[in-house]
Amino acid sequence: PKGATIEGLSVLEKKGVRGAFIEACHESVKKMRL
């Protein structure tokens, strides 16, 4: 659900951890590709 993702990102932005969340996403993508 894209809407839930966007809402979640806005909450993360307010907490100032969006960067860390995106890094975690990139790491999971790397592991999925292996």
pLDDT at 12: 63
Q: In sequence order, which ranges of 1-34 are alpha helices (DSSP H)?
A: 2-15, 18-33
pLDDT at 1: 59
- pTM score, whole prediction: 0.40
Q: Domains in the chain: how many in total?
A: 1
First-to-last C-alpha distance (Å) of the chain: 25
User: Which two structure tokens, joined as six digits, stand for 21?
Assistant: 């969340």
**pLDDT grade for 13, boundaries at 50, 70 and 90:** low
pLDDT in tens, 19-29: 777 788 888 88
Range 4-27 average pLDDT: 74
The Cα 19–Cα 25 span in angstroms is: 10
34 to 12, 28, 29, 30: CA distances (angstroms): 28, 10, 9, 7
Segments forming the whole domain that contains residue 12:
2-33
